[in-house]
Amino acid sequence: MSFFKPAHPVYLVGPTSYLPERVMTNEAVLEWMGVEVRASWLSHRTGIQERRWVEESQACSDLALAAAHRLFEQHGVERQRITQLVLATISGDFPSPPTSPLLLPGLGLEAIGVLDLGAACAGFASGLYTCASFTLATGGDQLLIASEIRSKFLNKKDLATAAIFGDGAAACLVTREPAGASFQLLATELSADSSVADIIAIRAGGSRLPSHLNPEEDQAFLKMQKGATLFMKGVDLMSSSAESLLRRLGMTVEEVDWVVPHQANLHLVRATTDKLGVAREKVVETVQFTGNTSGASVGIALAHLRENLPLKPGQKVLLVSAGAGGSSACALLESR
């Protein structure tokens, strides 16, 4: 595991989030798939009531820009202080080039560093680790955006996958300046379990199987395999990584005020936090109305905590995430 505790204070401004306007209820998803299944069965199986999907004309960069502009407008971000943009995504506009440089004109930024970060469901928390390292090294502010579109990679023939995923984005500023900050980053840790690296995958489109050589349409879609194994591994990865981070800090879960887990599905969220021994009222749940937004989910849920729940100054907030590739990322924040 890669543990990082900033040697000097690092702060977060935000995050803010953006969800597409198109609401897909369970009934709408089943109609899109042409499947005769009761919507109530889908709700019971996933805990999800609705999710947001983009329109055909929208791409990852559109969601990223919308989330970032909300951050700029709500928090009065001084763009001239931004020296680096980190975009956490596995659903960029194109296989090549990376999407982060395409954002600069729309953000009103130029001549800054850019980086696409592919950590799947651990994207936002992995981005915090990366941006905190950058801001300590350079002194400049880092703009972190996690933006994911999963709806365009869903197979109408695969109910288990299509029922879960949604689209969305979150953005925050990582800085050494405390003025206007929402949180202080206390510590973060990354890890991975390669034994489950290929259980969630889109097989075609990379150098292993380029799109033009793909003989099977199903290979172009997102596919989850070994559902029971995936569920148990997800619970184990998130709970063990959270325990590891707290142990390194000499803390217990009882000292944490809020837990913001990756919103994979409601049952996984609750199984993870139950295993950690976290009271239900301390857990931030947004999956019921967002679905699984992959690497953006923790940022969206953290924005929901900041904007809609009774968060108080000085409270400890634990971010917990794991997903495709077996990657995991945790972070401990303190609210301001």
Q: Is 60 a catalytic residue?
A: no
Residue 205 gets the label, from left (phi > 0), alpha (psi -120 to 50) or beta, of: left
Residue 194 burial (CB < 10 Å; 0-12/13-18/19+)? Answer: exposed
Give the ranges where 249-286 is alpha helix by DSSP (H).
266-276
Select which of 26, 60, 121, 330 is catalytic: 121
User: Taking the domains of the chain in order of start, what are their residue ranges?
Assistant: 7-180, 185-335
pLDDT confidence band for 80 (50 / 70 / 90)? very high
Say whether pLDDT at 27 is over 80.
yes
In sequence order, what are the beta bridge partners of 318?
Answer: 259, 332
**What does the pLDDT read at residue 120?**
93
Estimate to the nearest angstrom the gap between the alpha carbon of 130 and the chain centroid: 14
Lowest mean pLDDT among 119-128, 210-219, 314-323: 210-219
Q: Given the DSSP bridges, would you call strands 10-18 and 183-192 parallel, antiparallel or unpaired?
A: antiparallel
**What are phi and psi for residue 203, nearest 5 degrees?**
-75, -30
Select which of 26, 60, 265, 292 is catalytic: 292
Helix, strand, coil shares of the chain, percent, nearest 5, are 40, 25, 35
Average pLDDT estimate for 170-194:
96
Say which residue, 183 or 220, is predicted with more confidence.
Answer: 183
Average pLDDT estimate for 297-326:
95
* pLDDT (tens digit per residue) in 257-307: 999 999 999 999 999 999 999 999 999 999 999 999 999 999 999 999 999
Rounded to whole angstroms, the Cα distance separating 110 from 101 reads: 9
**What does the pLDDT read at residue 223?**
84
Contact between 113 and 171 under an 8 Å Cβ cutoff? The reply is no
**What does the pLDDT read at residue 117?**
97
Task: Establish whether domains 7-180 and 185-335 are of one fold.
Answer: yes
Select which of 26, 131, 172, 262 is catalytic: 262
Q: Name the fold adopted by 185-335.
A: Peroxisomal Thiolase; Chain A, domain 1 (3.40.47)
Rounded to whole angstroms, the Cα distance separating 228 from 126 reads: 26
**What are phi and psi for residue 254, nearest 5 degrees?**
-65, -20
Tokens representing 132 are: 């905190």
Residue 153 gets the label, from left (phi > 0), alpha (psi -120 to 50) or beta, of: alpha
Residue keyed to tokens 């506009």: 93
Lowest mean pLDDT among 4-18, 34-48, 149-163, 204-218: 204-218
Question: Where are the strands (E) in the chain, listed by range?
Answer: 2-4, 10-18, 22-25, 50-53, 82-88, 113-117, 141-148, 168-175, 183-192, 200-201, 223-224, 258-261, 316-322, 327-335
Q: How far is CA 271 from CA 9, 95, 123, 265, in A?
A: 33, 35, 21, 10
Lowest mean pLDDT among 78-87, 128-137, 287-296, 322-331: 322-331
Say whether pLDDT at 1 is over 80.
no
Which helix (H) or strand (E) element contains residue 21? none
* pLDDT (tens digit per residue) in 189-237: 999 988 777 777 888 888 998 999 988 888 888 887 776 777 888 899 9
Angle of helix 297-308 relative to helix 123-138, nearest 10 degrees?
Answer: 80
Contact between 94 and 116 under an 8 Å Cβ cutoff? The reply is no
Say whether pLDDT at 85 is over 90.
yes
Q: What is this structure's pTM?
A: 0.97
Q: Name the fold adopted by 7-180.
A: Peroxisomal Thiolase; Chain A, domain 1 (3.40.47)
Write the DSSP symbol of residue 97.
S
**What does the pLDDT read at residue 301?**
98
**What does the pLDDT read at residue 227?**
67
Q: Is 265 a catalytic residue?
A: no
Write the DSSP symbol of residue 139.
-
Q: Which residues contact 108 (CB under 8 A, 6 or more apart)?
A: 79
Rounded to whole angstroms, the Cα distance separating 146 from 174 reads: 13
Average pLDDT score, the chain = 94
Query: If we measure between CA atoms, which residue out of 82, 136, 79, 137 comes closest to residue 113?
Result: 82
